[in-house]
Structure 1
Amino acid sequence: MNIHFSCIIKAGNRQREFNLRLLPAGEDTRYEVDVPDDRGQRIYFHMQRSPEGQWRASAPGLPEWVQQAEPGLDTAIREHQGT
């Protein structure tokens, strides 16, 4: 089953559309995320659940505005999952 959704989150100084796709179940549940930067180039990273149960970006070197969007992405994933 292919599960994907989009959400608009204020990140940095503007609203941005984050596209999320649930990756096939393996050892852990992860979402692949892509979002365009200010020049329209796509930034790709994964969100995975931390031991504390929060969804966190798992890629080093992400722009600060992506890191600031983590709580909004966590909320979007939880709402989509119905938890």
Structure 2
Amino acid sequence: MQIQFVKNIQFTRLIKAEGRLREFNFRKMRILQETLFSVDVVDDRGNRIMFRMRKEDNHWKIIPQPLPAWVSEQEKLMSDMIEEELNN
């Protein structure tokens, strides 16, 4: 019997969005041989916004879905944070 260990990657970063610091939670996932990051953040009303990011052209991109503009505007910064975490 062969045992295989896979490193679990989860991290949280504070990002200033729409004039205030917000806590973005990242979690690495493998789905059908594809690596994705699940991301969640809470809006002003306490609702959790969840979305996924996939790597395209050496950058992590939000998988298209309706999201508030303040989330979409942070895509580049979130991509940089994911790369930084993966390189550590």
- Do the two structures share a fold, i.e. TM-score over 0.5? yes
- The yes-or-no answer on 1:64 pairing with 2:61 is no
Larger relative contact order (CA 8 Å, sep ≥ 6): 1
Q: What RMSD in Å do the two structures reach over aligned CA positions?
A: 1.5
Per the alignment, residue 15 of structure 1 pairs with: 21
Cα distance in 2 for residues equivalent to 1:59 and 1:38: 22
**Alignment gaps of 5+ in structure 2:** 1-6
Corresponding residue for residue 37 of structure 1:
43
The count of residues paired between Structure 1 and Structure 2 equals 82
More strand by share: 2
> Which one has a bigger Cα radius of gyration?
2
Runs of at least 5 residues in structure 1 that lack an aligned partner in the other structure: none
For 1:59 and 1:18, the matched residues in 2 are separated by 18
Aligned equivalents of 2:25, 2:54: Cα separation in 1: 15
Amino acid at match of 1:7: R
Normalising by structure 2, we get a TM-score of 0.84
Code of the aligned partner of 1:64: A
Listed one character per residue, the Cα deviations across residues 11-63 of structure 1 (whole Å, up to 9, x for unaligned) are 1221111000001353221000110001111000001111x111111141110
Distance in 2 (CA, whole Å) between partners of 1:18 and 1:49 is 18
